[in-house]
Amino acid sequence: MLKKASKDNCLVLKLAMNGQLFRLLEIFAVNKNPNAPIIYKSLTFSLIENHADETVREFMVKSFIEIFETIPSIPVSIVVDPLIKCMQTNEMTTYQFNTFDFDLFLAIAKHPKLTLLPSGLTVLDQLSRIYLS
């Protein structure tokens, strides 16, 4: 129900439900609940689906940054790969970069679970493209 409500057209409901999913993810990750990866992937897809809505994207990005700092064992590649693909596909159309996007890149770059190949290289490539454009 939370996942369905997080896709609602009402901004307040969408933000509230995604916030609850982040709270559940934190609790489930700490307790090693087998449903934590499902919630994590749902939140990742929610970020991708709402890339054009700057308010929702900012909330999601800041929440992901908080999760990355709180749970150092969480794999960042699950977020990195679809996010970079979304950015490359929608760059300069529906995906306008903002300062919070770079805060997310910084949090990803500092994360201990970031591997050089392929996720680290993908992030570096995307940042280089942004810099050159």
CA atoms of 79 and 133, how far apart (whole Å): 23
Quote the pLDDT of residue 4.
Answer: 80
Quote the pLDDT of residue 2.
Answer: 76
CA atoms of 107 and 110, how far apart (whole Å): 5
pLDDT higher than 70, residue 92: no
CA atoms of 24 and 107, how far apart (whole Å): 21
Average confidence (pLDDT) over 15-34: 95
Q: What are phi and psi of 45, to 5 degrees?
A: -65, -35
